[in-house]
Amino acid sequence: MAWEFSTEPTFQKKLDWVDEFCREEIEPLEYVFPHAVRWKDPKVKGLVKSLQDQIKEQGLWAIFLDAELGGPGYGQLSLGLLNEIIGRYPSAPQMFGAAAPDTGNMELLAAYGTEEQKDRWLTPMLNQEMWSAYSMTEPQGGSDPNLFKTSAIRDGDEWVINGEKWFTSAGRVADLLFVMCTNGMFVVPRKTPGVEIMPEPRNHNHIVYRDVRVPLDHLLGPEDGAKVLAQRRLGGGRIHHAMRTIARCKLAFDMMCERALSRESHGKIIGEHQMVQERIADSYAAIQMLRLFVLETAWKIDQSSTQATRTDIAAVKYSMAKVLREVSYNALHILGSLGTTDLTPLQAMYASAPSMGIADGVDEVHKATVARNVLKGYRPHTGYWPTEYFPAKREKARQKFEPLFQKDPELRALADAYERSRPGPE
């Protein structure tokens, strides 16, 4: 029986390289040229290319794609360990060609796209020549696909799309919109006539599709297959979010501990105050439990599939939002007034926790899913009493021993004596 918590030495070298590379190269670039990957200036593009060439030489480009989809094929467990590092730095996922929402959309293209669709869209996206957004949720139905109304009607050699989408993250700056309709998943270039992006919200866009016409070959996967594609995309996306959340929690924890040893209050460093120690201890335990849960879930995916691991993925999803909220809150309090400003990552981290509990399906829905799936493995007890009802278990145990008692009266006498001496009900 194998039960292992260590990392292979060869892969650990990769992780050590990523850690140093992010700290020494990617983070400084982020502070001088924020979101450098999207800059069009040739000099900045040259800086980005130099770093990305090093990433590709390490075989770490587009690390989220499985081998059968054209990626490095590290698997979810290895990906989790990598995301635990790159998730600490805002620009690192894009620098590694592994940032949402493009990751999920590229996975859909790799898994369901035709060769022509891959050449037209997947290759440019992998090369970061095109960017995408995922247009799924709707104002009247949130993320419940049974309430969606956006549809595509075939008209000759085109599909005509009408509907309204809400919270299409990065839709305003995307080249391609992956639009989930009631009858299929469609790839819509953002500049297609009829695509109207509302002024608000600025980052998670409200988009109206009015008689948007796209060619027939813009249908991704089978007609009426949108729900299947969406589940594949969201299943992987949720575990990836959790992996990166661990990195954010560890960053908050590092800041918390550093501060606890650096400031004084009432004659001693604040790390010696029991209430501060309690926050540190609770945060440590919460991060460790989440980390092990995420890595075990990733391992299960590697052994089976996201579909087979959907219960754990759902549980990870709502657990990560809770842990991020608690740890960032603790860190913010220990940093005091500084933690409430935008001069450290904590304020944005704490502010993002509620949205994380809503994105990719609200936590309440995932909790209900977990409960339903867990209950499938149980059966109701018969009669009035639960399985662990002591009197019934004692009676059953006596029945098991009855053959021995018949052979050995002294053994029965011992059991009877104990039964008489056993304390009665209070």
Which pairing describes strands 176-181 and 132-135: parallel, antiparallel, or unpaired?
Answer: parallel
Q: Above 80 in pLDDT, residue 235?
A: no
**Domain extents in the chain:** 9-113, 132-220, 227-375, 390-421
Query: What six digits make up the tokens of 164?
Result: 């309204």
Which residues on neighbouring strands pair with residue 154, listed in sequence order?
159
Task: Let me know: does 185 contact 233? Beta carbons within 8 Å.
Answer: no
Q: Which CATH superfamily is domain 132-220 in?
A: Butyryl-CoA Dehydrogenase, subunit A, domain 2 (2.40.110.10)
Per-residue pLDDT at 70: 80
**CATH architecture of structural domain 9-113:** Orthogonal Bundle (1.10)
Least confident of 139-153, 202-216, 250-264: 139-153
Per-residue pLDDT at 335: 96
Hey, is 191 helix, strand or coil?
A: coil
DSSP structure class, residue 142: B
Mean pLDDT across 189-211: 97
Least confident of 119-133, 332-346, 348-362, 389-403: 348-362
Share of the chain above pLDDT 90, in %: 88
What global pTM score does this model have?
Answer: 0.90
Per-residue pLDDT at 414: 96
CATH class of domain segment(s) 227-375:
mainly alpha
Question: How many other C-beta atoms are found inside a 10 Å radius of the C-beta of residue 131?
Answer: 20
Mean pLDDT across 201-222: 97
Q: How confident is the model at residue 237 (pLDDT cuts 50, 70, 90)?
A: confident
Q: Above 70 in pLDDT, residue 425?
A: no
Task: Let me know: does 108 contact 220? Beta carbons within 8 Å.
Answer: yes
Which is nearest to 163 in space by CA: 107, 226, 116?
Answer: 226
pLDDT digits (tens, 9 = 90+) for 93-133: 999 999 989 999 999 999 999 999 999 999 999 999 999 99
Q: How confident is the model at residue 3 (pLDDT cuts 50, 70, 90)?
A: confident
Q: How confident is the model at residue 424 (pLDDT cuts 50, 70, 90)?
A: low
Euclidean distance between CA atoms 50 and 37, whole angstroms: 11
Radius of gyration of the chain, Cα coordinates, nearest whole angstrom:
27
How far, in Å, are 122, 152, 286, 336 from residue 209 at the CA level? 23, 10, 43, 46
Hey, is 60 helix, strand or coil?
A: coil
Classify the phi-psi angles of 77: left when phi > 0, otherwise alpha if psi is within -120 to 50, otherwise beta: alpha
